[in-house]
Chain A
């Protein structure tokens, strides 16, 4: 496969995954903000997902959602993310299924159609966000059902799980900041619950551990669960698996990528709450982010290493 194509596939999927993650975050925060706006403000979200020189800020829910979804000056607004995803998809149309392309293109057309801002202001914002999320669900389903298993699929998946790890770590960091600011156990439990909701782990958590929000159990679920598709561990094993598939099918040369992934996988798997506490939870996440950035960088350089041959 062309290196550029592989790179575009990874980015196509990263953008789609990011869009889905941000929409979940907005929806969960909107609900929470209706309950207690002082605990669940919009500013941290805006800060995390805009460029460092962004000066825009708001505590009005609708204004924030509009900024995060429709504002073209915000590089991580859903409309920009989907535009980027579509640009990537457009240039790899001969590598993705027709259905997948139509799905992304229709999402893009839906978002760029005039009248969305009006709809957001006049209608139920949850419905507005759900309508957008529906495109992501359709996209996931389409990919599962129409994309043939092969190098394109593997690269797409690498993009998906790389981005997912970054999203989960970012969501967690954002909440840790809030948790650190209070010693009120009840308030802390609100934040933990909120984190579970935005990652989509709430239902599983309640089912497994009942309505008791304990840090240790939450960290175990978000970071170490082997079967939950939005746990860091799960994502890392998926990246590993798809890299190996590519190596097996002679699409990638064997490099030290599998070593890095294996190391990260074991670090997460064998960390205990004590060992995490020793280095500090913030540092634990920071290390994961650094490792994943390094892996992502190496995947890019694998793609381009042949250029100067």
Chain B
């Protein structure tokens, strides 16, 4: 049986890197095994495999809830999964691995510096007003010492591959990055739908992530068997599935804010037999909601007094509060400078050229090239509130630029990128769709480990560059060759 239909209409996008085909329409070596397998599978079997993957996600409850503003009733959805894996070679991964290590190392040093001596400001590398005007700068963290000087324990750096074939950093997610459960779950699904192909293709495993995370968390405490908990906002959070999965795979307690209390600057959890001390909190709630006494007073998700306990060193919070200062879109511009300043190294992974709208000459440049630009809010995320110059009307551009003029420092612009494409199985045919890559890095006292894999997000809508799950994105399993 030969499934020729599958390969019958793969139209590469112009001026775009394709993960599977070279620009001479030859299949890249890393895709050969999976390709010959796909060719041997009939159309019908392929549909069955797609259906099986959906069912597996549903029956295991790998879902997220989307809330409708009108009736506030949630609809459970699965994050669309494309069965064709995205494959990265060993040399390519080597660059990513070293590049992310370097970046996270520098970013950790930066956060420590910003909350202590601020050498980087004093030496004139980063302007002070940029730091102090950033909403993610937490005055509550100034002068606070954190164990082993690690602020960012878990990060998910978003990478894209440009048409030159090189990986660029789109953003460093240093607060509470999500998606790692999909890295794990997607792999489990691949094992089911491509029996025997993973070992044949020499793919590195990802299943060690929870053990590694647990080890990194445990190392942070001086206690021999620290009580580690995962703090979730609760079942209504869109990443709740991930919270339960990680807690289950690590064997730690999944707690909500109301399960914890602070007494004499020590954090306890409320158990059926009294209070039990908590040593380390892997929190999946944002800084703003962490402690109603210090941040958002209306938050019922956090724990009153937890920041005071943290500052006393009685509990460890992971990632540290205040890391948002380093993944702000305006600060992003300075990461290459940080790498040179703190490490005296040349950045391995490039930044995307970024214009600060607060600088008049850069504003002018953006305005002149608006059709090739995307403008973003420095404190935005999730793909909301952006202007994509090539698809906006003149009216929309005018209105947006007016908004920018009100508060130019709150915006940055980047040239519209050529995200690389990868083959997706859509209606029984392989079709190129834009992808990005989010590998997950774990920093501990013995160094930084990046699990060989990650979350490949894909813009399933034709021609779309937006990979966010909230806006029609899906995901793929990511295979790294040994």
* Structural contact, A306 and B274, CB atoms closer than 8 A: yes
| A250 CB, min distance to chain B CBs, angstroms | 6
| B256 CB, min distance to chain A CBs, angstroms | 7
Does residue B406 face the partner (Cβ distance < 8 Å to A)? no
| B240 CB, min distance to chain A CBs, angstroms | 7
* Structural contact, A306 and B253, CB atoms closer than 8 A: no
Question: Which of A3, A94, A307 meets B248, CB within 8 Å?
Answer: A94
In the complex, residue of chain B having the shortest beta-carbon distance to the beta carbon of A103: B59
Residue of A4, A94, A106 most packed against chain B (CB within 10 A) = A94
Q: Which residues of A contact B259 (CB under 8 A)?
A: 2-4
In the complex, residue of chain A having the shortest beta-carbon distance to the beta carbon of B252: A94
Q: Of B193-201, B265-273, B447-455, which stretch is located at the interface?
A: B265-273
With A90-B235, A94-B254 as contacts: A105 and B272 at CB distance below 8 Å: no
* Structural contact, A101 and B61, CB atoms closer than 8 A: yes
* Structural contact, B248 and A1, CB atoms closer than 8 A: no
In the complex, residue of chain A having the shortest beta-carbon distance to the beta carbon of B241: A90
Does residue B224 face the partner (Cβ distance < 8 Å to A)? no
| A298 CB, min distance to chain B CBs, angstroms | 13
* Chain B contact residues, majority secondary structure: mixed
Does residue A6 face the partner (Cβ distance < 8 Å to B)? yes
Q: Interface range on chain B: under 10, 10 to 19, 20 to 34, or 35 or more?
A: 20 to 34
Instruction: Mark contacts of B251-295 with chain A using CB atoms, 8 A cut-off: 1 yes-contact digit, 0 otherwise.
Output: 111111011010100000111111100000000000000000000
* Structural contact, A3 and B271, CB atoms closer than 8 A: yes
* Structural contact, B273 and A2, CB atoms closer than 8 A: no
* Structural contact, A306 and B271, CB atoms closer than 8 A: yes
In the complex, residue of chain B having the shortest beta-carbon distance to the beta carbon of A105: B61
Q: Which residues of A contact B240 (CB under 8 A)?
A: 90
Q: Which residues of A contact B235 (CB under 8 A)?
A: 87, 90-91
Does residue A252 face the partner (Cβ distance < 8 Å to B)? yes
* Structural contact, B256 and A4, CB atoms closer than 8 A: yes
| B404 CB, min distance to chain A CBs, angstroms | 43
Question: Which of A93, A246, A303, A306 meets B244, CB within 8 Å?
Answer: A93
Q: Which residues of A contact B252 (CB under 8 A)?
A: 94
- Give Cα A3 to B260, complex, Å: 11
- Give Cα A45 to B254, complex, Å: 39
- Give Cα A306 to B252, complex, Å: 21
Does residue B58 face the partner (Cβ distance < 8 Å to A)? yes
* Structural contact, A307 and B270, CB atoms closer than 8 A: yes
In the complex, residue of chain B having the shortest beta-carbon distance to the beta carbon of A104: B61
Q: Which residues of A contact B261 (CB under 8 A)?
A: 307
Does residue A204 face the partner (Cβ distance < 8 Å to B)? no
| B52 CB, min distance to chain A CBs, angstroms | 15
| A299 CB, min distance to chain B CBs, angstroms | 10
* Structural contact, A106 and B59, CB atoms closer than 8 A: yes
Identify which of residues 86-124 in chain A touch chain B, using a CB-to-CB cut-off of 8 Å.
Answer: 87, 90-91, 93-94, 101-102, 105-106, 109
19 additional A-B pairs beyond A3-B259, A246-B272, beta carbons within 8 Å, are: A2-B271, A4-B270, A87-B235, A93-B244, A93-B247, A93-B248, A94-B244, A94-B251, A94-B252, A94-B253, A102-B59, A105-B59, A109-B59, A251-B273, A253-B273, A304-B270, A306-B270, A307-B270, A309-B263
